[in-house]
Structure 1
């Protein structure tokens, strides 16, 4: 990448790939509650700091981590199933977009191909975006797929596939992420990365080109308004 990190908003990508949970949809709180319910259902107590460890993980990886964290690895399958069941119930009852998500997506979809790269099951991503009125703005939804060897974040696969489906080389695409797991995946795939939310206190946060507090940050919306029509982005 030749463009310096501090001028990300002077750069015109040829595609934008969004994470879903915690970036477009306010569903991280649902995952946290689902984890708590799954632990309680099995008479277990979540360890201190577990929410931070679990953020951004694929739900199967999270279920395994839950089991290991309470020293009961044999319960991984049960906890994974309970986690997904509780999350689906919560997200169906209360789908909420993150502040600024709808406005930014609508602005960008008129200018660039958009995709979603998520660790969630496809039914969750598509259902959440459909209920939020955003699904039609995305050309592609990419989720882990063992059959096609698309591994979950922090592996780079979902971002690499999403960029290429959009018809661009990864370094010409921008990823929008809220978690270090996702930032790592997008960076390793070769995309430039915009981190959204509070910048984590971790060296891995530097893998993002820029962190902004929210999707409705004035400088981000101004950047979206300034982008050229499809096909005119500079090299």
Structure 2
């Protein structure tokens, strides 16, 4: 069994780990694809999962033939999605209980591919900013990399002043898990609605049903 002393920092993805935004994103992605004359398939979904908004826009242009500029795509999608973060999304069960138990015992960061215009409304609505030592968005990455590129997690470790191997990451997506593992971190996958087959998070060190899973408690708290 892993000892909790192994870890010095805990990193949380936001969408699908802290909030239930993924159920709303599924609707937006389907509607956006329809508006652009694209077919929303599993293959399409996998190509856009966990990317930063700029990376996603570039993929839509390169692989799916959209003619709009990257800036236009980012603006269109940003307008469609803002309501999720300002009104619709809710905290997922067990998140608040877990982070309260971890607060003061570990360095804690929120590490998201989402831009700050989506992150900040969540921090304000649920008054959870006080639990994080660092709030990190993919828009801070010099090259605009989101997940599965490890840059955002390596950046988070530097900001927290810890080694990557001393970090435990909570992720819900295949690309998120890949990013954490590529960064050399221990990854706990809590598969979300995007993950149709749990084998898709097979690279994770541990797969939990939810944030209140006893496996997590044993690693970080007991």
- TM-score class, shorter-chain normalisation, is 0.7 to 0.9
Stretches of structure 2 that go unaligned for 5 or more consecutive residues are none
CA distance in 2, matches of 1:60, 1:115: 22
CA distance in 1, matches of 2:2, 2:46: 27
Equivalent residues of 1:9, 1:220 under 8 A apart? no
Which entry has the higher C-alpha Rg, 1 or 2? 1
Cα deviation digits, residues 160-198 of structure 1 (max 9, x gap): 111122121110111111111111111111111111126
Name which of 204, 207, 213 aligns with 1:208.
Answer: 204
Stretches of structure 1 that go unaligned for 5 or more consecutive residues are 1-6, 227-235
Cα deviation digits, residues 38-79 of structure 1 (max 9, x gap): 23444x24332233443212222223334456x423235344
CA distance in 1, matches of 2:7, 2:86: 33
Name which of 20, 23, 43 aligns with 1:29.
Answer: 23
Equivalent residues of 1:38, 1:79 under 8 A apart? no
Equivalent residues of 2:174, 2:201 under 8 A apart? yes
Q: 1:73 is paired with a residue of what secondary structure?
A: coil
TM-score, normalisation: structure 1: 0.81
How many angstroms does 1:36 deviate by? 2.6
Alignment of 1:177-216 (within 5 A): 177-197=171-191, 201=197, 205-216=201-212
Alignment of 1:28-177 (within 5 A): 28-42=22-36, 44-49=37-42, 50-67=44-61, 71-75=64-68, 77=70, 78-145=72-139, 148-149=142-143, 151-177=145-171
Task: Please provide the CA RMSD for this pair.
Answer: 2.6
Aligned residues: 218
TM-score, normalisation: structure 2: 0.85
How many angstroms does 1:200 deviate by? 6.3
Pick closer, same or farther for the CA change 1:57–1:8 going to 2, 3 Å.
Answer: farther
